[in-house]
Each structure stands twice: as C-alpha cells, then as structure tokens.
Amino acid sequence: MIKKLLGQTWNNATLARIAMNSAIFEYTKKNNVKGATIDLGSKSGDASHNRFMTKAKDCKITYTDLHPQSDKVKKLDLEKHFGIQDEVYDTVLCFNVLEHLYDYKNAVTESYRILKKGGVFIEATPFLVHYHPDPNDYFRYTDSAIEKIFTGAGFAKEEITPLGLGPITSGNYSVIMLMPRILRLPSLVIAIICDKFLNLITRNRHSGAKYPLMYFFVFKK
C-alpha cells in the first residue's frame, strides 16, 4: 500500500485523496466491501479508491454518473429519485461527491431506501480543501453535521474519522500538490515533520482532528 500511496504523491493525486485512500484501505481490510454495491458519482471503475479497496468474492459494483461516458456506467441523478427498488444493495459507496450536491438530503435518504437492512454507506468528503466545482461545489461538512444528517435519515453511526495531520500540512497541501514532481514529496515530508513537532511541543493541541483535510465515515442501516 505504501508504494501505491507514494506513487499517487509523485503523480497527480492530492494529499486529501491519499489520506482518503489510506482510510479506505484500513477500513475495508477489516470490513470487506460485500455483495451488491453501488458507487455513487464514481464515473467509472477507474477512480483511485478502487485500487485500495478490499472486496469480498461476492462483491459486484455498479458505477454511476450523471453523464455516463460508457454503457457500463449507470445514469443516476443524485438529487432526484434514484429509480431503484427498495433494499437491493448491501453497500453504498460515495467518495468526494456529497459536497457537489445542493440537495444532499435526497442522496442520503435515497441511499437509505435502496440499502438492505444491515447494509452500510461508506463515504469520504473534504473539509479544508480548495474549491473544486464538478460541475458545482456547494458545501463543507463538520463531523457533527455529518452525524446529524445521516442519523436524521435513519442511519446508525459506525465511524466518523477526521483525516489530517495538523495545520501546517492542511494549510499548505494545495500548494505542495501544485509543485513540480521533484519537489512534491520532499515538501510534503517537511510539512508532516513540522506538524509532528508542533504536536509534540503542544501535547497534540493542534492535531489533525482539529485541521481535517477530509472526513471518512461509515453509517449502517
């Protein structure tokens, strides 16, 4: 996994995506993605999170997009009724999508409806991350907002994890990822070391939990 993450850093992935893929790897290593699965807003199976996800043998993923470029991708508007029967999926995946939805409540309630009893919703959404319209960029969610949105739709919280290292890394990650490749990795290492030292001398008063790049979370029906 470390080799894959370093490869992402060398190429075009942002630090937020690297953190997300690490969280996906750690969670699915213990809790394989199982059964009928739908990946909301994924565009295709080429998204980087697929390379870090541990899947059970019975896992079959349906990829979706508002404007699919392939007949292998299901057309789905996440701000409207999904047009899918109740309780047909074991898992709903939704990575870096929620912030692009104005009617995010529809996506949450529809996801709850199409999940089987005991099914899980696995998501990651950015927080201290630059504006990135696709085609729009509407919201950033705190952990308390995430919990209230999902439990209000009937879900039970399994996990909400802030992904970050501290203020120096979070404050500079966009700049670091715009640097030439040869400077990107050493600059990231320096930022991480600075955050580690800052938290050592302040007894973790400036931890990643207070400066999250993203939140990774799992809710269960």
pLDDT digits (tens, 9 = 90+) for 4-25: 444 444 444 567 777 888 899 8
Q: What's the pLDDT score for residue 194?
A: 92
Q: How many CB atoms lie within 10 A of CB 81?
A: 9
- The number of domains in the chain is 1
Q: What's the pLDDT score for residue 14?
A: 65
**Domain assignment present for 197:** no
Whether the Cβ atoms of residue 110 and residue 138 lie closer than 8 Å to each other: no
CA 135 to chain centre: 18
Give 79 or 71, the one with higher predicted confidence.
79
pLDDT of 212 over the 60 cut: yes
Q: What's the pLDDT score for residue 51?
A: 87
**Domain assignment present for 181:** no
Q: What's the pLDDT score for residue 4?
A: 46
pLDDT of 110 over the 50 cut: yes
Residue-number span of the structural domain to which 21 is assigned: 2-166+212-220
Long-range own/partner contacts, residues 129-134 (CB < 8 A, 24 or more apart): 129/14, 129/16, 129/174, 129/213, 129/214, 130/174, 133/100, 134/100
**Domain assignment present for 201:** no
Residue 34: pLDDT band (50, 70, 90) is very high
**Domain assignment present for 203:** no
**Domain assignment present for 195:** no
Residue 189: pLDDT band (50, 70, 90) is confident
pLDDT of 40 over the 60 cut: yes
Residue 62 is encoded by which pair of tokens? 């349906």
Q: Which of 63-77, 129-143, 165-179 has the lowest mean pLDDT?
A: 165-179
Q: What's the pLDDT score for residue 96?
A: 95
Q: What is the CATH number of the domain that holds 105?
A: 3.40.50.150
DSSP one-letter string for 168-183: HHHHHHHHHHTS-HHH
**Domain assignment present for 109:** yes
Q: What's the pLDDT score for residue 2?
A: 41
d(CA 169, CA 158): 27
Residue showing tokens 């992402």: 8
124 - beta bridge partners?
95, 216
**Domain assignment present for 186:** no
What is the mean pLDDT of the segment spanning 104-125?
98
The predicted model scores a pTM of 0.89
Q: What's the pLDDT score for residue 169?
A: 87
Q: Which of 36-50, 74-88, 129-143, 181-195 has the lowest mean pLDDT?
A: 181-195
Residues of the chain above pLDDT 90, percent: 60
**Domain assignment present for 12:** yes
Whether the Cβ atoms of residue 131 and residue 137 lie closer than 8 Å to each other: yes
- Strand bridging mode 89-95 / 214-220: unpaired
pLDDT by residue (tens digit) across 145-175? 999 999 999 999 999 999 988 898 888 877 8
